[in-house]
Amino acid sequence: MDKALTPDSPDQVLDAVAQALDQGRPLEVLGSGSKRTLGRPMYGAQPLVLSHLEGITSYEPEELVMSAHAGTGLDVITATIREHGQHLAFEPPDLAALLGTPNTATIGGVFACNLSGSRRIKAGAARDHLLGASAVSGRAEAFKCGGRVVKNVTGYDMCKLLTGSYGTLAVMTEVTFRTLPAPAEAHTVLIRGLDDKAAIIAMTRALAGPWEVSGAAHLPRAVAAASRVAELADGGAATLLRVEGPKPSAADRAKGLGEGLGDLGTITGIKGDDALVVWREIGDAAFFAGGDGRQLWRLSLPPSAGAEVVDVLTITQECRAFYDWGGGLVWLELLDPASASPDAVRAAVAASGGHATLIRADAETRSKVAVFQPQPEPLARLTARIKENFDPKGILNPGHMYDGV
Amino acid sequence: MDMPKPDESVLNRRDGIIAALGELLPGDAVITDRDELRVYECDGLTAYRQLPMIVALPATVDQVSRVLRYCFENRIKVVPRGAGTSLSGGALPLADGITLGLAKFNRILEIDYGNRLVVAQPGVTNLAITDAVADHGFYYAPDPSSQIACTIGGNVAENSGGVHCLKYGLTTNNLLGVELVLINGEVIRLGGKHLDAGGYDLLGVVTGSEGLLGVITEVTVRILPTPPAARALLIGFGSCEAAASCVSAVIGAGIIPAGMEMMDAPAIRAAEDFVQAGYPLDVEALLIIELDGTAFEVDQLVDSIEAIARDNGASSVRASADEEERLKFWAGRKSAFPAVGRISPDYYCMDGTIPRHRLPEVLGRIAKLSSQYGLGVANVFHAGDGNLHPLILYDANKGDELERAEAFGAEILKLCVEVGGVLTGEHGVGVEKRDLMGTMFTEDDLKHQQRLKCAFDDRGLLNPGKVFPILHRCAELGRIHVHRGRLPHPDLPRF
């Protein structure tokens, strides 16, 4: 394989893409590679590593906005904004432990993959927090989109196009995103022993109430057992509801939530560091770390269908699953490589509506199986036309999302 | 304002096109009579008017698909239209185009409380969605001021906001899915009842695309539980600077209110004269800050903000004691536009967004421009997110006042871009700000936006003449250029 290109300025990124375009040679666009194995594998592409293109270029805490070069480490950014009591509200997950990759996510990679954690249900996804970007398209032309303000309808919302495009349309060189006040405190309400369907009902009630729930997850017994929080690991299934906000009203809401769900079982709570640990585990799907390359799927579903989809799958698949987003996000590990059936997963999702992404599998499986949800024909053609317009020679992460795109 | 030159060959085919549409649609769904067409000659930006060639009012997705397919095959331009409340001319007709009205798509298709969503046809009004779910304790959060009339399909096309988007986001943040008919008649679905649509975020791209990418025939939106309590604060300041610093201090304290609105002295006086909301008249700036949530939290935050306001030199602070008083505080702000309409024969509403901390400077420069152009201005803002609505006062019947108002408005928008903001926060580019796009975007920026357009509509038939000042042909945009003569690249680091 060719040596990795390691540009440290937007101009050098432009040069790198121009060179690849000139030579008709594909590039594998990477931040630091922490999510490198998420997607269809690319063979023979020259790595374009953005992690040297780093540095916060502007931070205005009072405007709740930061700009940074795409290769800036997520850890650098979170540490900087934490000093001002701010955070990335969409809780970007850290999938390194799951994927066996370096734990060095870059901010560009966070937005390129559009992955969001438990607070997605209240604060929105990564895509809702990207305000602006500079990028180099597969035409080796630099362009910018968006701005530095939240309210902006000037032209197409091109930031949305780049978020979640996994580097297949353009190489982002700089991103501008929202930094929001971190809540003063968080409370986690815990209900033990609910089966999956009862847990979905509990979460639905919590989310339909006035308590401003910012996390709603359910860990069936087999998943809870893998938690590093001792109290959770040996108490059976756990349904967790998080309430955040200013002191003391967040506590008041948590109390109201507990009372509101009191008829469903014994209400307790998780405190302090234990709560931080388990919400981190939920966001990162850390219960499935390691896993010897067992297939791991991430399903986005209508929340009320979550338990049903898992139920149907357990008929043919030996699996472990847990729920986030009030049931709308299911992480599903297929335990038996011999019988693991992507078709079964996709069929179950098709019945409820939604989509499934194969987050972890060996390279051979990821070459053969559609990693991202296959699209119906008119939409697939539209996707291909967009790729063609932004990257006509197919030099940016070709085939990384869809075969031939 | 120049629109694309009407295509004589299309105009000459008008009778044939009418006959063809008659085959595709019921008889009463094709409007050709000059007087009836008049209804569609403009949208909320009434300074620009144009009779459409024909108006088509399909009632089913299949009809939309067949009409678009016909227009695609016969190269006829199409202007989609909801209720026609756009303030930027997004639905301004074309002399050689068909205006495609979605008014007959007026049904709510599904209310799903378990998944907290509503599926509606695009012609349903914004407020009708909230009305449909209010009894169950839910509401739809984005609340543009035209919410009684504007349609949810139009909201998606324009990515509409409102006073509550500071806390709850714009349309794009509350949208789960759409059904979209492409110009070639193909029907696609983006998103659905789940979060994150999957694949390229075309749902995000279509939102705010001003009818240039497709015609929306179904919309799925999230609904939220109605907060049990809401209170508003009415805070007066001796200067706009003090009010602006209060806004920053509230956000700096980690509070994101449901709404944070600001009015300057001319707007306060006009509103108070109109509705007697009890606004203080001895102040230069007024903030209305609304908190919602549990009663406990609302009371707590009201206390916090009262203290912040006094620390920032507020000359008067009132917190609503009951719902009646809260609504009264809002009455003046909500009637600010008609109130200004009473003191001036015409007004021109601008819509730039700026970084919050540049507000005092921008207001100062707007005041200078006001004397320079000899036209008054009243300012209302969504202060929390820096979205300005300066209302330029003019009289269209007086000499060159309209031209001066437009020039003044353009200067304000350029100023917004100069201080790090944008041309439009929620009203859209349409025809109104089209020719200013170059102040914010380079040629390459705009070309990439148009390449997105080419993927959806390479014949440029959907709403041409809006948003982009120069219409490049997709064939021209498709060429690959050789780069700057900088090849090869000896300096590129590699390891």
In sequence order, what DSSP letters do the residues of A148-197 get, joined into one string? SSS---SS--HHHHHTTSTTSSEEEEEEEEE-EEPPSEEEEEEEES--HH
- Averaged pLDDT for residues A332-350: 95
From CA B182, how far away is CA B113, in angstroms rounded?
30
Spatial distance between the Cα atoms of A87 and A178, rounded to a whole number of angstroms:
9
pLDDT in tens, B408-463: 999 999 999 999 999 999 999 999 999 999 999 999 999 999 999 999 999 999 99
Q: What is residue B495's predicted lDDT score, i.e. its pLDDT? A: 54
Q: How far is CA B261 from CA A280, B146, B236, in A?
A: 37, 17, 12
Is-cis flag, bond preceding A10, omega within 30?
no
Task: State mean pLDDT over A35-59.
Answer: 96
Please report the pLDDT score of residue B418 as a whole number: 97
Residue B483: which pLDDT band, with cuts at 50, 70 and 90? Answer: low
pLDDT of B32-47, one tens digit each?
999 999 999 999 998 8
pLDDT tens track for B76-90: 999 999 999 999 999
Q: Sheet containing B97-101: which strands, arranged edge to edge?
A: B30-31, B54-56, B97-101, B77-81
Range B123-139 average pLDDT: 98
**A376 lies within 8 A of chain B by CB:** yes
Distance from CA of A234 to the nearest CA of B (A): 31
pLDDT confidence of residue A293: 81
Residue range A25-33: mean pLDDT, rounded: 96
The whole-chain average pLDDT of chain A stands at 96
Using CA atoms, how far residue B314 sits from A142, A226, B95, B320, B459, in Å, is 47, 55, 54, 16, 57
Question: For A102-124, how does the pLDDT look when each residue is reduced to its tens digit (9 = 90+)?
Answer: 888 999 999 999 999 999 999 99
Cα angle at B197 between A72 and A340, to 5 degrees? 90
What are the structure tokens assigned to B167, written together?
Answer: 């806390």
Nearest to B208 by CA among A67, A137, A248, A158: A158
Residue A32 has pLDDT above 60, yes or no: yes
Question: Going along B320-404, which residue ranges are E strands?
Answer: 346-349, 377-382, 387-394
**Digit-coded pLDDT (tens) for B334-371:** 889 889 989 999 999 999 999 999 999 999 999 999 99
Interface of A with B in 156-185 (CB under 8 A): 156-161, 163-165, 169, 180-184
Q: What is the mean pLDDT of residues A255-280?
A: 96
Query: Confidence class of residue B492 from pLDDT cuts 50, 70 and 90?
Result: low
B382-399 per-position pLDDT tens digit: 999 999 999 999 999 999
Closest CA to A167 of A392, A390, A393, A404: A390
Contact criterion met (CB below 8 Å) for A160 and B156: no
**Residue B441 has what pLDDT?**
97
Give percent helix, percent strand, percent coil of chain B, each to the nearest 5: 40, 20, 40
| Start-to-end CA span in chain A (Å) | 22
Task: Express each pLDDT in B159-185 by its tens digit.
Answer: 999 889 999 999 999 999 999 999 999
Interface test with B, best of A82, A151, A297 (most B CBs within 10 A): A151
Q: How many residues does chain A have?
A: 405
Helices (H) and strands (E) in chain A — how many of each?
Answer: 15, 17
pLDDT score, position B491: 60
- Let me know the angle formed at the C-alpha of A297 by A291 and A299, rounded to the nearest 5 degrees: 150
Q: What is the mean pLDDT of residues A181-187?
A: 96
Residues of A in contact with B137 (CB under 8 A): 208
- Report the distance separating Cα B52 and Cα B371, nearest Å: 39
Is B196's CB within 8 Å of A116's CB?
A: yes
Question: Residue B153: helix, strand or coil by DSSP?
Answer: helix
The answer to whether the CB of A288 falls within 8 A of the CB of A246 is no
Q: Nearest Cβ partner of B194 from A52, A163, A302? A: A302
B423–A63 C-beta distance less than 8 A: no
CA distance to A101, A131, A144, A164, A401, per residue, from A106 (Å): 13, 17, 19, 14, 20
Instruction: Please enumerate in sequence order all residues whose Cβ is within 8 A of that of A10, keeping only pairs 6 or more positions apart, or say none.
Output: A53, A69, A134, A136, A142, A173, A174
Mean pLDDT of B315-343: 94
**What CA–CA distance (Å, rounded) separates B63 from B57?**
9
| Best of B143, B160, B422 to mutate (most A CBs within 10 Å, chain A) | B422
Beta carbons of A182 and B254 less than 8 Å apart: yes
For chain B, how many residues are written? 495
Q: Which residues of B256-266 are buried (b: 16+ CB within 10 A; e: fewer)?
A: bbbbbbbbbbb
Q: Round to the nearest angstrom and report the end-to-end CA distance of chain B.
A: 54
Check residue B145 and give its pLDDT.
87
Other beta carbons less than 10 A from residue A59's beta carbon:
16
**Helix A196-208 with A306-316: angle, nearest 10 deg:** 160
Of B199, B204, B491, the CB nearest to A372: B199
A300 in contact with B, Cβ within 8 Å: yes
Question: Residue B484's pLDDT is what?
Answer: 53
- In order, the DSSP letters of B54-92 are EEE---SHHHHHHHHHHHHHHT-EEEEESSS--SS-TT-
Given an 8 Å threshold on Cβ–Cβ distance, is B445 in contact with A149? no
Q: How confident is the model at residue B468 (pLDDT cuts 50, 70, 90)?
A: very high
Choose the closest CB to A149 out of B386, B427, B444.
B386
**Residue A291 is which amino acid?**
G
Residue B358's φ and ψ, nearest 5 degrees, are: -90, 5
pLDDT at A237 over 80: yes
Q: What proportions of chain A, in percent to the nearest 5, are helix, strand and coil?
A: 40, 25, 40
Of A6, A245, A302, the CB nearest to B297: A245
Starting at the edge strand found earlier in the chain, the sheet holding A65-69 runs A56-60, A65-69, A170-178, A130-137, A142-146
Cα–Cα distance for residue pair A87/A97, rounded to 1 Å:
22
The amino acid sitting at B427 is H
In B435-494, the residues whose Cβ lies within 8 Å of chain A are: 437, 440-442, 444-449, 451-456, 467, 477-478, 480-484, 486-489, 491-494
* DSSP bridge pairs for A186: A244
Cα separation, A202 vs B116, in Å, equals 14
Q: What is the DSSP string of A318-357?
A: -EEEEEEGGGTEEEEEE--TTT--HHHHHHHHHHH--EEE
Q: Please report the sign of the dihedral spanned by the C-alpha atoms of residue A195, residue A198, residue A202, residue A208.
A: positive
pLDDT at B481 over 80: no
Rg of chain A over all Cα atoms, to the nearest angstrom: 21
pLDDT, tens only, A75-95: 999 999 999 999 999 999 999
